[in-house]
Structure 1
């Protein structure tokens, strides 16, 4: 399934979002402009609708904008999309059927299959992961407006990347692979330092070094926000047997709330992760290094 649309519109579901909950739950669209002559709209007599609102507004330009919003609500069909923002998400739907007049003269329409707060791939359409160019449509002072960022919207709904974003993600994958290779060039002392810097960037504080054996360095960390204490086992090379050894030590230690097992070379069974134990292998560590902004530091260390 691919989402396509002839037109896309943004709609405010009531003043201050008063109809949001009702519409999202029932899978409907609701619209004001209560005074609008319904028969003119059904007949497509949009000049009469404009003239009606001119008599109320006293300004033809404002009335024309009113008429365009009313027309969009009445004439949009299943080839169109409506979007709205609520509860930190972008929701989208397809209108269908005739316009219904409610008891308060508000207008209501059904949707094809309700409102959706996810892409077709099931990814939540969280506002914090949507371009500001699309988000600013919420600043529209009226009720309905056309979405200018329609191509971007459709890519978002279809889980598609723009060419620029696809290129950026490919470059990031290459960078992460390069970071893994660079980490393997570090001395065990520098690898320990890198791990220490990564944990420091995420809020952990180093409060001690428990042991110092070449290629095996244990760190003791504390997270100030929660008071958690963690035992970090850093190994240049690791395997499942070495993990089991340190899991046994952790289970016997009452001082620590968590254990991190960190390595850059070797194979460790993924099922070794248990309550309180976090495995950080080369790929995961590379991502943490990248996110902490330590890629340049790493390059300089091995140059």
Structure 2
């Protein structure tokens, strides 16, 4: 089933309650809730904003009462008048949630007001991927620090936000992803041309740069063990086998050897040229890690070893 992409006439961030106290309830019930409790719900529905302004000005005691009341009314008016084509966003449990809302504003007994989200809130893009805060442009997520209730998203970020929800990446990101794919392929080819001793050294560099500490000599004296590693934080010990080439028989023999050895918590099997069945192998045992050519090329780039590899092959 094809899901049509969304579009929006405007985007608004809403803070669901003071310090987010209504977030869980609103997201579960599929509502947007506004505080600013007052006896002027009917006046707001009628668009009599002067009356609403006068009330909130009377509630403010600072020298900036008029300016503060003006901002109060701006937020209340947005809640009442924003069309159903407005995209609403909020943040909860480290994810961005989004929805469109029905136009009707309903007053509750406690004088707060709600609008119903059309189809409820969602924290997924239209391709089904979670909208994690860690993967969203900071110019969008900074609205979490807004001290009021409702604000407009930075205009230059509105297209980005819609594209993010639609699961569309910008042209610059798409170009970078394409270039990165080409780089990974080039790195893979360079790795596969390494002498076995150089590949063993590369395996050592990859693992130590990702947090492991080597506690044995490269290609040490322990039979079947090319590297012995220690995770200093957890104290877990690992042994590593490094192969230029391997088939399934080689891999299964290595796993059998690991299962028969005492003193090791994890096993790494690194190979740069292998049959597809080896490359696709995934063990149900979380201790067993088979790292094939595709993953090795990614690790080389992530660990900053591309220049080392180029120099080794030059």
2:141 corresponds to 1:135: yes
Shift, 1:244, TM fit? 2.1
Q: Is the 8 A contact 1:240 1:268 kept in 2?
A: no
In structure 1, runs of 5+ residues without a counterpart are none
The answer for the alignment partner of 2:228 in structure 1 is 220
Corresponding residue SS for 1:255: coil
2:192 to 184, 188, 191: 184
- Could you list the runs of 4 or more consecutive aligned residues of structure 1 that deviate by over 6 angstroms after TM superposition? none
String of CA shifts for 1:201-227, please: whole Å, max 9, x gaps: 1111222258579xx972222222222
Question: Is 1:294 aligned to 2:305, yes or no?
Answer: yes
Residue in structure 2 matched with residue 255 of structure 1 by the alignment: 263
Quote the Cα distance in structure 2 between the aligned partners of 1:36 and 1:84.
Answer: 27
| Aligned-CA RMSD value | 2.1
Q: For 2:309 and 2:225, locate their aligned partners in 1 and report how far apart those are by CA, in whole Å.
A: 19
Q: Tell me the SS of whatever aligns to 1:92.
A: strand
Q: Is the 8 A contact 1:91 1:117 kept in 2?
A: yes
Q: TM-score, normalised by structure 2?
A: 0.89
* 1:39 aligned partner: 42
Cα gap change, 1:274 to 1:136, in 2 (>3 Å):
closer
Q: CA deviation at 1:46?
A: 3.0
**Cα distance in 2 for residues equivalent to 1:205 and 1:110:** 55
The answer to whether the 8 Å contact 1:238/1:268 transfers is no
Q: 1:19 aligns with which of 6, 17, 22?
A: 22
TM-score (norm 1): 0.92
Sort the Cα spacing of 1:274 and 1:209 in 2 relative to 1 into closer, same or farther, 3 A: farther
Number of residue pairs the alignment of both structures matches: 301
Distance 1:222 1:297 in 2: 24
Task: Say yes or no: does 1:273 pair with 2:293.
Answer: no
Label 1:274 to 1:210 Cα distance change in 2 as closer, same or farther (>3 A). Answer: farther
Q: How does 1:72-83 map to 2 (within 5 A)?
A: 72-83=78-89
Deviation at 1:254, TM superposition (A): 2.3
Structure 2 unaligned spans of 5+: none
Change beyond 3 A, Cα 1:135–1:284: same
Cα 1:192–1:227, aligned 2, differ >3 Å: closer, same or farther?
Answer: same
C-alpha contact (below 8 Å) 1:243/1:268 kept by paired residues:
no
Instruction: Give the Cα–Cα distance (whole angstroms) in 1 for the partners of residues 39 and 196 of structure 2.
Output: 76
CA deviations on 1:135-168 (whole Å, 9 max, x unpaired) are 1112222110111221111111111111111111
